[in-house]
């Protein structure tokens, strides 16, 4: 073997390193693109950032000084470079509405959204996956028809309408759940934030009365989000299972005399777990970024309500900061699902 052949073999890069580098480059460019888009949105919005800081009664001299201090006199690419450097350090600027750093506001608001989206996703998975499997196994039956109807309604009904109807029926008429907000006024400030998740923190500190009140507040909006997650997850599960149940190996398993439970859960369902990982991760990401209307209806102090309130107040630092955070989390969840995909399916490495 020649020296050149030996050198080429030594320089061969393992496939997993190539895949990792490719993923890293894709993530970097995706986040850079997100930052550039949010930066440009802040520049094209019909809001004067200088007046938003100093107010409309400021003098021309104050306006000019603030204009220079904000770096708005510099070329656009230089401004983007400054913005990029600040964001990489976690500095999204100061909120005009709250007077605090945007990063502090987001750190306080995001756990509320995370808690709501997590519980909603759990509801969607616990109900949606078995419902989708059962609909596939009983294809064409009344169970299948109900499952498809549930999915259709979940895709069709406006979430704000369901939220208002839920408040009217379960809070206003039946009184089964608490009203808007994250916790009752009487219980505010009792639990000291540790994880930021009120249900978890109240249990860790033994405040069971606060836990019950917080659960009574969160169960209705979480169930609403869970229903929309359920509609998507059950539909995709049904589709995946129908494909597997028509495969030859399922017919072979039945011919061998395996029970229907073993055929469905030990063979067919095992082969769709990898696909479901991606579906569940996307459903979770969608709830994190798409719970704006739910948070507004239920006065939930999450990141969706924070961005909406800031937008109405022309507080662009807060709006852009929240947008960046949600975008980065969406990318991170996609990477996480991809890693799980490779872990459960060695063929994808």
Q: Reply yes or no on whether the pLDDT at 212 is more than 90.
A: yes
pTM of the model: 0.81
DSSP 8-state symbol, 267: I
The Cβ of residue 301 has, within 10 Å, a number of other Cβ atoms equal to 18
Q: Is 23 left (phi over 0), alpha (psi -120 to 50) or beta?
A: alpha
Domain 103-348 has CATH 3.10.350.10: no
Q: Rounded distance, CA 203 to CA 80, Å?
A: 44
Q: Reply yes or no on whether the pLDDT at 347 is more than 60.
A: no
pLDDT digits (tens, 9 = 90+) for 144-179: 888 888 888 877 778 888 888 888 999 988 888 888
- Asked if 30 and 335 touch (Cβ cutoff 8 Å), the reply is no
Which structure tokens are listed for 169? 């029926």
pLDDT at 319: 84
- Asked if 113 and 295 touch (Cβ cutoff 8 Å), the reply is yes
Higher-confidence position of 337 and 192: 192
Which structure tokens are listed for 248? 């030859």
Domain parsing of the chain, residue ranges = 11-88, 103-348
236-255 b/e (C-beta count within 10 Å ≥ 16 → b): bbbebbeebbeeeebeebee
Q: Rounded distance, CA 95 to CA 310, Å?
A: 8
- Which residues are within 8 A (CB) of 102 and not within 5 positions of it... i.e. 6 or more apart? 92, 93, 94, 95, 317, 318, 321, 322
- Helix ranges (DSSP H) in 187-315: 198-204, 208-245, 248-255, 260-261, 273-290, 292-297, 303-312
pLDDT digits (tens, 9 = 90+) for 181-190: 888 888 888 8
Q: Reply yes or no on whether the pLDDT at 310 is more than 80.
A: yes
Q: Rounded distance, CA 237 to CA 308, Å?
A: 34
Q: Rounded distance, CA 205 to CA 208, Å?
A: 8
pLDDT digits (tens, 9 = 90+) for 114-153: 999 999 999 999 999 999 999 988 888 888 888 888 888 8
Q: Rounded distance, CA 253 to CA 242, Å?
A: 16
Among residues 250, 255, 335, which one has the least CA distance to residue 24?
Answer: 335
pLDDT at 323: 85
Q: Rounded distance, CA 296 to CA 164, Å?
A: 11
First-to-last alpha carbon distance for the chain, in angstroms, is 30
Among the ranges given (151-155, 182-186, 191-195, 302-306), the one the predictor scored with the smallest mean pLDDT: 151-155
pLDDT at 12: 72
Q: Return phi, psi of residue 308, to 5°.
A: -65, -45
């Amino acid at each position: 073997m020649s020296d050149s052949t030996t050198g080429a073999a030594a320089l061969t890069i393992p496939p997993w390193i190539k895949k990792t580098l490719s993923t890293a480059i894709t993530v970097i460019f995706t986040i850079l693109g997100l930052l550039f888009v949010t930066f440009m949105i802040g520049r094209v919005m019909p809001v004067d950032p200088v007046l938003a800081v100093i107010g409309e009664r400021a003098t021309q001299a104050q306006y000019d000084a603030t204009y220079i201090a904000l770096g708005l006199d510099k070329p656009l690419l230089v401004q983007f470079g400054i913005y990029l450097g600040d964001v990489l350090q976690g500095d999204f600027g100061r909120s005009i509405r709250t007077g605090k750093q945007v990063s502090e506001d987001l750190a306080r608001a995001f756990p509320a959204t995370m808690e709501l989206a997590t519980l909603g996703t759990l509801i969607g998975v616990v109900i949606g996956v078995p419902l989708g499997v059962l609909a596939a196994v009983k294809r064409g039956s009344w169970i299948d028809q109900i499952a498809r109807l549930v999915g259709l309604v979940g895709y069709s009904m406006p979430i704000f309408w369901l939220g208002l109807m839920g408040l009217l029926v379960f809070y206003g008429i039946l009184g089964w759940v608490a009203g808007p907000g994250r916790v009752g006024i009487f219980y505010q400030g009792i639990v000291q934030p540790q994880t930021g998740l009120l249900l978890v923190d109240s249990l860790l500190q033994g405040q069971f009365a606060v836990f019950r009140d917080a659960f009574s507040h969160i169960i209705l909006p979480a169930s609403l989000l869970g229903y929309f997650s359920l509609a998507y997850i059950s539909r995709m599960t049904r589709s995946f299972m129908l494909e597997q149940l028509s495969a030859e190996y399922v017919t072979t398993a039945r011919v061998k005399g395996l029970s229907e439970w073993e055929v469905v859960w030990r063979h067919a369902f095992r082969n769709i777990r990898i696909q479901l990982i991606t579906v569940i991760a996307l459903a979770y990401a969608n709830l994190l970024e798409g719970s704006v209307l739910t948070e507004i209806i239920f006065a939930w102090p999450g990141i969706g309500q924070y961005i909406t309130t800031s937008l109405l107040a022309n507080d662009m630092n807060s709006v852009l900061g929240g947008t960046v955070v949600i975008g980065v989390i969406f990318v991170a969840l996609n990477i996480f699902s991809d890693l799980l995909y490779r872990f459960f399916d060695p063929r994808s490495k």
